[in-house]
Structure 1
């Protein structure tokens, strides 16, 4: 992933997530950006259309300067994907932690059946990403990790292809991420 910052736009020179509006390259202007979180684990921009675009961590300060210059607010949103992907971490949670996660998802509008369905759909992909590819993440998996799993060469392409049309899959992930406006 490569980005450059100009006075009046951010140019995505290489964006590896298929389905994104800036894949494989593209540009966003301040009027297309709803908010951003330059302090997130993976710095991100949320567009007016509800798409989350990531910026490399090493460009965090550039993103902050760009946003401040253009009056783009920093907004920290609850991490729905972090909660949905929790079972794929290389760690165990006690029942109280699991109940707290399910409660947060419920408060975000997810029924237990929807949570189960999403997790079931993503189990082969996320197991291949975190365990078979030996990422061994034990603390956090979020939207960036899901998109990486769906696109990175470290995951079997058959599992990635099983997700269906990349643009449709990407749109689905964005809708879920944007449920917490």
Structure 2
């Protein structure tokens, strides 16, 4: 993404109205939508104003301990698994989530950064052939082919560029599944986004292949 940086060398304080794709202010606001508000109870998690309509968390606020399959409190953002779905949580309560998991004997995990590897070309940093080869090998280990990786990146490219640069986010450290969902929810119609959401979850929950 070095060409993006070069655009701003002439004007180091670009106008707030600058966008790569003439993205409207209303879409910019939607791209940066919050993951909602998290309340941690003794034996439940409560999530309000969850932004992703296909999710169970959009329709159900409270999740009791017996509905939580596992928690990844180290990821950014933290997540918990409900059946075949990841629910994204706000990052500022990682310590409380760890304590909640221990108190209620909930399994904790560290999920692989599968969507982070897919989305790395859209970060505000260089993306070399060596990086591409390394990430492709990692993704191959989870069953994704070169063609699938290219197809996914092509599908989300414009929206991810909007998400990172038209919003002035300038993220360089890493993306995850919640980022691509924020980016694509402003593009797709309801049924299209529901299909995309299911695909995102399926990929996010892939298990590393064991070679025989």
Normalising by the smaller structure, the TM-score range is 0.7 to 0.9
Q: Deviations over 1:72-116 (max 9, x none)?
A: 122112110001101111111332221110000011100101111
The CA distance in 1 between the partners of 2:141 and 2:190, in whole Å, is: 27
Q: Mind listing any 5+ residue stretches in structure 2 that lack a counterpart?
A: 1-35
The CA distance in 2 between the partners of 1:67 and 1:34, in whole Å, is: 11
Q: Deviations over 1:114-148 (max 9, x none)?
A: 11111111112111111222211112111121122
Q: CA RMSD in A?
A: 1.8
Match of 1:101 in 2: 135
Matched residue of 2:144: which SS? coil
**Residue 9 of structure 1 contacts residue 29 of structure 1 at CA under 8 Å; is this kept in 2?**
yes
1:34 to 46, 53, 69: 69
Shift of 1:40: 1.5
The CA distance in 2 between the partners of 1:145 and 1:114, in whole Å, is: 19
What pairs with 1:115-154 in structure 2 (closer than 5 Å)?
Answer: 115-151=149-185
Q: 1:124–1:93: structure 2 CA closer, same or farther, 3 Å change rule?
A: closer
* 1-10 vs 24-33, greater mean Cα deviation: 24-33
What pairs with 1:13-24 in structure 2 (closer than 5 Å)?
Answer: 13-23=48-58
1:176 to 187, 198, 203: 203
Matched residue of 2:69: which SS? strand
- When Rg is computed on C-alpha atoms for both structures, the one with the higher figure is 2
Q: Deviations over 1:132-176 (max 9, x none)?
A: 22211112111121122234xxxxx4xx22685332221111111
Q: 1:163–1:92: structure 2 CA closer, same or farther, 3 Å change rule?
A: farther
Shift of 1:42: 0.8
Matched residue of 2:198: which SS? helix
**Residue 37 of structure 1 contacts residue 43 of structure 1 at CA under 8 Å; is this kept in 2?**
yes
Matched residue of 1:93: which SS? coil
Q: Number of aligned pairs?
A: 173
The CA distance in 2 between the partners of 1:109 and 1:163, in whole Å, is: 28
Match of 1:79 in 2: 113
- 1:167 and 2:194 aligned: yes
The CA distance in 2 between the partners of 1:19 and 1:79, in whole Å, is: 22
The CA distance in 1 between the partners of 2:181 and 2:155, in whole Å, is: 14
**Residue 19 of structure 1 contacts residue 167 of structure 1 at CA under 8 Å; is this kept in 2?**
yes
The CA distance in 2 between the partners of 1:148 and 1:11, in whole Å, is: 21
